[in-house]
Structure 1
Amino acid sequence: MKLVLFDLGDTLESDGVLVPGALETLEMIAAFRTNGDPSAFLGLVSDFDMPAEPSEVAIIQQRYYSLLDDLGIRPFFEPVAERVTLSTEVGVFKPDEAVFRAAASKAGPDVGFGDVLFVTENRSHVLAARRLGLAAVHVRGPGQAHGEVNTLAEVVPLVQSFLNGGEPVETVVLDVSSEAPDALLTRIGATDATWTRLGDVLVVRSPAARPGQSPARGELPDSARRLFVPEQHLHVVTQTARLFQEDHPDIRVVVDKGRYLVVDFDAGASLPADGPHASCYRVSPLPADGVVFDQRAAGPGPASPAEAVGVAAVEVSRAAFDDDVGTLARLRTRHSRSAEFRGALAWAESLLADLGYATQIQTVAVPGGTSRNLVADRPGDGDGDGREVVLVTAHLDSVNIQGASAAAPGADDNASGSAGVLAIGRALAGRSTRRGLRLILFGGEEQGLFGSRHYVSGLDTDERARISAVINMDMIACTNTATATVLLEGAPVSQGMIDSLADIAQANTSLAVQTSLAPFNSDHVPFIEMGIPAVLTIEGTDSANDRVHTDRDTLETLDVGLALEILRMNTMFVAQALDSDTSIARPIR
């Protein structure tokens, strides 16, 4: 039999009144059944008045029982002689071992410390209980800034896990150096804890009932957060803007890194993937001993074109980028089926044709009608019809979550990426290169990657093999981080590209670099699904641009300096890829 022990003062009760959720929590735990019988005893263990002489013990006990009557919770702990343990009768205060031993022995001769879960607002009592071998939970008490759980309701799933033979898991969230996490990870590897890293944040899970298993217990900085979340409740979310949080405002966010979240919910109840914007986020279990995204520190700062390290010097025109992004973002909308979208596509086609690119328009089926892709080619000087080609892509369309008729200037999402494609096309026009350059502006991305899926599905095996690398730009001009940061998102097939881009960024720009091998919800994904090396370059994630997909995504919110740094990295990479004697993108097999 299991025993769930509660402290009373400031845990279930404060100033003579039950704390919020206390009654409901006791009711839910009391309702747990195994083969028709209660799954656990409920008990109380409290520090209370000490007697001056043994004859006072019974009087003090009755005063405590009257308090339970006044609170309306005595029935949960009947018979009180077996379920309530006071320092009054033991002669010492918690967390002395004798108090816990008395509570366990009252519950039954076979109840040991390993069968007890203790709930209290007193952190030092939690630690002492764990040293004795009890499972224990620190619930945030009145006036406390932190707890392992914030409310009594959050204790219920931990009790259920405990009763089902699992262990309450202590989750520690702490900041780590993105450059030197190895020592901490080595310590974690020596325990049975698991970890997940999101840039400079580490989420470590270890059994709370086993003292000493947390790799840094007692050594954690004040900024570290300890909380109790059942392992199966932890999930990682990849989202566009804040659309997951908009759909599910009641789901607890444990770690917020903008595009990436760690959230706490009971997947056994329901999977929160059915909101109105479900296509704009992905929910999956938090990986054990894995990296959601990695991070590298910023490089030494931008070099002049003449000082570019290891790659051809290429300049991107700021004035032309400003003009292009302004031309696109001043349109009321670029919804995939709109006249404004078609006008923007025709304008971009004319611009690229004037630069010497051979252009073609593809018609793309989208929900409710059709959209367009613009494909612009400049052949390389390689031999034969099978020469390789490097792709630079972005989606031209914009959207407002209020509907197709609402204003959608889409300055960041994705006038910035589309203007980036034109900037690279302008910078590399007229150059003689070994590989061909292909620029693509997709339609229908916001409705579900329709343009890129249409393009990739039309490639035969030989055409797919010709593609050396795909650089996709989607939202490159808003600052979400303390320092200018780019996120490089791909897959294992893209690892060579990611490494090259990161090296170029660190040597030639002031960008910090984040990397992820979990591609999601942009036009690089269809290429990766076909085994083609592709990387999304997007503004870094720490917060998220919550203006996208609204009428607030306007020119005034852009950081053109960030966009130009990302374009500097991308243009140098493309110039290198166009002239390299060997493919830098595909992994060695």
Structure 2
Amino acid sequence: MKKLTTFLCTALVVGGLSGQTLIQAYKNRADLVSQTNITTNLQEFSNLGVKTTGSVNNANTLTWIKNKYTSYGYSASQIVENPFTFGSTSSKNLVITKTGTLYPDKYVIICGHYDTITGPGTSDNGSGTSVILEVARILKDVPTEYSIKFIHFSGEEQGLYGSSHYANNVAYQSGVKKLDIKLVFNLDQVGGKLGNVNSKIICEKDTAGQSGNNAASSTVTQQLATCTTLYSPLQTSISNAYSSDYMPFEQKGYVITGFYEYTRSYNEHTVNDTFANVDPVYVFKVGKAAVGAMQHFATASTTIAAGSAAKEIPPVTLESVKIYPNPVKDFLTVELPDSTTKNFTVEITDLAGLSVLKEENKAQINISRLDNGVYLCTVKAGNTSITRKIIIEK
């Protein structure tokens, strides 16, 4: 992903910009982002290993992503592999298309890369990949006026090869725009680092390359920031887009924006970019912001039919559950929201997925017999669950 440079972070943004107001249907869908899904996606992505473009692991990761879309109900005709080569290396982008109701030939692209160079790349860019998957899952059956393309690029780390191929050979050909693209929304390294204060996200605007698309990029980036504050608990900062998969589109005159972590983890491109070091709760919050923003950009339906309300709003929510202290030494406290049923299960697993402790209806969990390290704590109540990462440190 992006090379190590110094960010220019300016203009803290609050809600109310561009005349945007909260749309309840959008919020309801943003609230469907699942911490459990995000955590599972991050863990599975990490377990796929180093994903160097052209490698077996890289191809396996593409298959893993493809299988996710199939499980969400996307049809084979909606899922397209886009092969490309550079030098002696071959790889594939994955493109999933959801057709709009009013503007089927005008697209909002949400994208991010899945290749890595050193380490499993759980933050760079398993985090962006996990968020895009969750956006696709939630919006699968939501009518949107504009078509949406969910694109997973490869070859980013070697020089934006996958996105360059798509921008130059699919979106734009022989000097002509073949795809009418309303916006390209890129997510790259939004994983944060466990232990950092991860309460803010950078919204990226175009200040480089072609100048004719800068004003439009600035406008949509302000809208992205507003959506973030409306539909997630994150604060926002505006900075400049650079060195990621939106840039080949920018060079062709398309409008771009993006997300990038505010407090840098500095684990990218190292063996430390692992599941143990990423902050799944931060990625969950980015997911809520992305779902809200994509509904705004693609103009999603603002109504919720009476018959679907129960489906869209879970009867029990565990997102506000408190699990503390963290790090923990001897006893872990699980504090559930008042509205939640008192019948619940707490299960602790190691990072390999092995269950090491399980208790029912206990708010105080004795973990003194467990070794120091990073674990996952899953709280289940009824048909819903929440997973948080905990550190045992004695």
Matched, 1:562 2:282: yes
Instruction: Look up the match of 1:476.
Output: 190
In the alignment, the residues of structure 1 paired with residue 269 and residue 87 of structure 2 have an alpha-carbon distance, to the nearest angstrom, of 18
Match of residue 143, structure 2, among 410, 428, 432: 432
Matched, 1:522 2:239: no
Instruction: Look up the match of 1:540.
Output: 262
Please give the residue correspondences for 1:281-360 in structure 2 after superposition, counting only pairs within 5 Å. 292-296=8-12, 311=26, 313-314=28-29, 315-354=32-71, 355-357=73-75, 358-360=78-80
Structure 1 residue 308 displacement after superposition = 5.5
Matched, 1:456 2:167: yes
Higher strand share: 2
Matched, 1:397 2:112: no
Match of residue 126, structure 2, among 401, 415, 422: 415
Please give the residue correspondences for 1:492-531 in structure 2 after superposition, counting only pairs within 5 Å. 492=214, 493-516=216-239, 518-531=240-253
Structure 1 residue 312 displacement after superposition = 5.2
In the alignment, the residues of structure 2 paired with residue 394 and residue 297 of structure 1 have an alpha-carbon distance, to the nearest angstrom, of 24
Counterpart of 1:507 in structure 2: which amino acid?
Answer: L
Greater Rg over alpha carbons, structure: 1
In the alignment, the residues of structure 2 paired with residue 572 and residue 352 of structure 1 have an alpha-carbon distance, to the nearest angstrom, of 20
Residues 14-43 of structure 1: CA distance to partner in whole angstroms, max 9, x if unpaired? xxxxxxxxxxxxxxxxxxxxxxxxxxxxxx
- Counterpart of 1:500 in 2: which secondary structure? helix
| TM-score for the superposition, normalised by structure 1 | 0.44
Residues 326-376 of structure 1: CA distance to partner in whole angstroms, max 9, x if unpaired? 111112211111101101101211221342251111112134411110011
In the alignment, the residues of structure 1 paired with residue 13 and residue 183 of structure 2 have an alpha-carbon distance, to the nearest angstrom, of 25
Question: What's the RMSD between the two structures over aligned residues?
Answer: 2.5
Contact 1:481 1:540 survives alignment (8 Å): no
In the alignment, the residues of structure 2 paired with residue 481 and residue 535 of structure 1 have an alpha-carbon distance, to the nearest angstrom, of 25
Structure 1 residue 504 displacement after superposition = 1.6
Contact 1:364 1:443 survives alignment (8 Å): no
Instruction: Look up the match of 1:3.
Output: none
Contact 2:15 2:229 survives alignment (8 Å): yes
Higher relative contact order (CA 8 A, sep 6+): 2
Counterpart of 2:81 in structure 1: which amino acid?
Answer: I
Contact 1:299 1:511 survives alignment (8 Å): no
Contact 2:13 2:225 survives alignment (8 Å): no
Q: How many residues align?
A: 278
Instruction: Look up the match of 2:6.
Output: 260
Please give the residue correspondences for 1:195-210 in structure 2 after superposition, counting only pairs within 5 Å. none
- Structure 1 residue runs of 5 or longer lacking an equivalent are 1-237, 242-258, 262-291, 301-306, 401-407, 582-589
Structure 1 residue 435 displacement after superposition = 1.2
Structure 1 residue 521 displacement after superposition = 0.9
Contact 2:131 2:290 survives alignment (8 Å): no
Please give the residue correspondences for 1:21-60 in structure 2 after superposition, counting only pairs within 5 Å. none
Aligned-pair identity (%): 21
Residues 413-459 of structure 1: CA distance to partner in whole angstroms, max 9, x if unpaired? 11111111111110101122211111111010000000000000012
- Structure 2 residue runs of 5 or longer lacking an equivalent are 17-21, 207-213, 302-394
In the alignment, the residues of structure 1 paired with residue 285 and residue 14 of structure 2 have an alpha-carbon distance, to the nearest angstrom, of 12
Contact 1:372 1:442 survives alignment (8 Å): yes
Instruction: Look up the match of 1:240.
Output: 3
In the alignment, the residues of structure 1 paired with residue 2 and residue 109 of structure 2 have an alpha-carbon distance, to the nearest angstrom, of 25
Please give the residue correspondences for 1:63-462 in structure 2 after superposition, counting only pairs within 5 Å. 240-241=3-4, 259-260=5-6, 292-296=8-12, 311=26, 313-314=28-29, 315-354=32-71, 355-357=73-75, 358-382=78-102, 387-400=105-118, 408-458=119-169, 459-460=171-172, 461-462=176-177
More displaced 10-residue stretch of structure 1: 529-538 or 310-319: 310-319
In the alignment, the residues of structure 2 paired with residue 397 and residue 424 of structure 1 have an alpha-carbon distance, to the nearest angstrom, of 20
